[in-house]
């Protein structure tokens, strides 16, 4: 389905949104394609996990909205594919994420809070992303991500990650500790300071 998307103030660009049936986790995920991405031999792909608080409401605790906006602009210019996965809070869900926010108010970082709630550091499953790409006819990609584990997991699921490109680092006073925790616990490929 053709849907114009806003990539900056007042700038709307064409995109195509693709839905899927029969995904391995039974959830509703979405692919957004730009330009000739599906005709490229190794299109640029961004896997973005849902963050209602950041993506929609602009929470200052994370960099999710800034990464999503940056990615949409890059995908439009390059002709790329954005996979929007319904894996809120690194897979713990919205309500548990709110509980983790409360723990963060007491001084815990995002990973410590999830652990205090008896969750693993990252519960996201990228098999569904691989399944979506294969459904689109894509088996070789350039990945737009600072998270090396995304590339590893896609490779394990049969998607060749030819190159990994990084996004910008969107540091604010409010998300600095969150970003530091992503580097410390998840090995994200950027420097905060």
3-state secondary structure of 135: helix
3-state secondary structure of 78: helix
By the 8 A CB rule, do 43 and 80 touch? Answer: yes
Written as six digits, the tokens of 173 are: 């006073």
Write down the H helix ranges in the chain.
Answer: 64-78, 88-91, 94-105, 110-116, 127-135, 148-156, 176-186
- Pairing relationship of beta strands 140-144 and 160-165 according to DSSP bridges: parallel
The residue annotated as part of the active site, out of 55, 63, 122, 153, is 122
Residue 150 CA to residue 129 CA, distance in Å, equals: 10
122 among known catalytic residues: yes
The residue annotated as part of the active site, out of 124, 166, 173, 176, is 124
Residue 86 CA to residue 129 CA, distance in Å, equals: 11
Active-site amino acid positions: 122, 124
């Amino acid at each position: 389905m053709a849907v114009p998307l806003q990539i900056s103030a007042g700038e709307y660009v064409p995109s195509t949104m693709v839905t899927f049936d029969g995904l391995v986790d039974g959830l509703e995920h979405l692919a957004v394609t730009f330009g000739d991405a599906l005709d490229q031999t190794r299109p640029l792909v961004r896997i973005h996990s849902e963050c209602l608080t950041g993506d929609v409401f602009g929470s200052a605790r994370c960099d999710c909205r800034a990464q999503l906006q940056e990615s949409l602009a890059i995908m439009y210019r390059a002709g790329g594919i954005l996979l929007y996965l319904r894996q809120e809070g690194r897979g713990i869900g919205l309500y548990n994420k709110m509980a983790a926010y409360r723990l963060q108010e007491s001084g815990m970082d995002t990973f410590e809070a999830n652990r205090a709630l008896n969750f693993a550091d990252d519960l996201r499953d990228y098999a569904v992303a691989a399944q979506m790409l294969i459904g689109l006819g894509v088996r070789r990609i350039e990945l737009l991500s600072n998270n090396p584990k995304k590339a590893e997991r896609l490779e394990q699921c049969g998607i060749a990650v030819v190159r990994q490109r990084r996004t910008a680092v969107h540091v604010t006073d409010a998300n600095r500790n969150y970003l530091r925790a992503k580097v410390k616990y998840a090995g994200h490929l950027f420097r905060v300071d």
